[in-house]
Amino acid sequence: MKAFAAGLALLVALAGVSLLVGVSQVSWGALFSPTPDERAIQVLVISRIPRLLAILLVGTSLGVAGLIMQMVARNRFVEPATAGTAESASLGLLAATALAPQLPVLGKMGVAAAFALVGTALFLFVLQRIPLRSALVVPLVGIVLGGIIDSVTTFFAHRLELLQSVNAWTTGDFSTVLRGRYELLWVTLGLTCLAYVAADRFTVAGLGESFTTNLGLRYSRIIALGLVIVSLVTALVVVTVGMIPFLGLIVPNVVSLLLGDNARRSIPWVALGGAGFVLVCDLVGRVVRFPYEIPGATIAGVLGSVLFLHLMLRRDARVG
């Protein structure tokens, strides 16, 4: 509990720093002086706070989604993006851009989310038809399905000369987050809470189908719930800011290394770690080439791959 409080304090401190970093001048002095700087407050309210909230929401929800995915699939190296959901959302965004470019941002989000749901439903449908001899089949099916959907996206994007746009919206980037442009992400908070409520079921499911059934629980239903949460979170993140690589892989792994596989215990930690990871990536991306930016996803890719390699080698040393 003490450790968690310390972690939380660290995150709050980071969040405070994040509010001050940006092209416009914002300082605590200007905000809390007797005559507050109106421009600074505007920037804070319109741009900085929404950006911070988006980062925290994305970090927590993607981290928890990764944890659930790994428990449900009983595979340590599964990511939320391996269900074809990210690819479906991307295809939906492409369809909206090509067919109805005038659609407001919220409308485009709606279309993409609908596509993502259909893609996930397809994933669940395919999973039902395939004998799951190994937990590895789950992510493999997802990767194959994602690849097929992605090829459709690429084909149309190539034809419509929108390949670069697709690339832009699949790379996680918080630079365009403003008040009124991220609010859909609040839904992920609800999904994260739902995951917490169902945490014990995921822990049990993580012990296997026969074990779960022996305890009188419906294994398939838990799996389905997990996948719905995972895919909805992923879809929401993809349509609002784009995908953050490695997050769903690294944070849950580090936490389970330290705390074990009890989901109820680890979800708060995963949420904290995910938020911290994204916050650090975004901060680095904002500072490195100031006043320009590097997408947070790019930083996450660099940091993540290093951490991931370290993790794999460590794990091998212990288990292997």
Partner 1 sequence: MNTFNKRPSSVFMSLGVVVALGALAVGGWRVMNGPAEGPAVPAAARGRAVTHAQGTTVVPEAPRRVVVFDLVALDILQALGVEVAGVAGDQFPHHLAPDADAKYPRMGSLFEPDYEAIHAAKPDLIVTGGRSSAKYAQLSRLAPTVDLPMSGANYVDTVVANTQLLAGIFGKEEKARELVTALRQSISALKETTSTRGRGLVVLVTGGRLSAYGPGSRFGLIHGDFGVPVAAEGLNASLHGEVIGSEFIREKNPDWLFVIDRDAAMGQQGGARQVIDNELVRQTTAWKKGQVVYLDPMNAYLIGGGLQAVKNLRDQVADAYAAQAGRVSGP
How crowded is residue 210: how many other Cβ atoms within 10 Å of its Cβ? 9
DSSP state of 243: B
Residues 28-87 within binding reach of partner 1 (CB under 8 A):
42-43, 46-47
Orientation of helix 263-288 relative to helix 186-197, angle to 10°: 150
Is 34 or 291 the residue whose CB approaches partner 1 more closely? 291
Alpha helices in 21-104 (DSSP H): 28-32, 38-43, 49-73, 85-99
- The reply to whether omega before 131 is within 30° of 0 (cis) is no
Residues 169, 202, 246, 277: which binds partner 1 (CB under 8 A)? Answer: 169
Rule CB under 8 A: is residue 287 a binding residue for partner 1?
A: no
**Part of the chain binding partner 1 (CB under 8 A), chosen from 57-65, 75-83, 177-185, 223-231:** 177-185
Q: Among residues 297, 238, 247, which one has the least CA distance to residue 276? A: 247
Q: Which residues contact 189 (CB under 8 A, 6 or more apart)?
A: 57, 60, 61
Tell which residue, 194, 307, 275, 188, has the closest CA to residue 238: 188
Asked if 27 interacts with partner 1 (CB under 8 A), we say: no
Q: How many residues bind partner 1 (CB under 8 A)?
A: 36
Whether a cis peptide bond, with omega within 30° of 0, leads into 291 is: yes
CA separation for the pair 206, 75 (Å, rounded): 9
> Could you tell me which stretch among 3-11, 68-76, 110-118, 162-170 binds partner 1 (CB under 8 A)?
162-170
3-state SS, residue 171: strand
Site for partner 1 in 123-152 (CB under 8 A): none
Kindly state the smallest distance separating residue 111's Cβ from partner 1, in Å.
Answer: 13
Amino acid at 9: A
Q: Identify residue 39 by its one-letter amino acid code.
A: R
Name which of 145 and 239 has its Cβ closer to partner 1: 239
Q: How far is the CB of 176 from partner 1 (least distance, A)?
A: 6
Q: How far is the CB of 86 from partner 1 (least distance, A)?
A: 15
Q: Out of 34, 131, 291, 320, point to the residue binding partner 1 (CB under 8 A).
A: 291
Out of 28, 186, 211, 292, point to the residue binding partner 1 (CB under 8 A): 292
161 belongs to the binding site for partner 1 (CB under 8 A): yes
Contacts to partner 1 by CB under 8 A: 22-24, 42-43, 46-47, 97, 101-102, 104-105, 108, 159-162, 164-169, 173, 175-176, 178-181, 289, 291-295
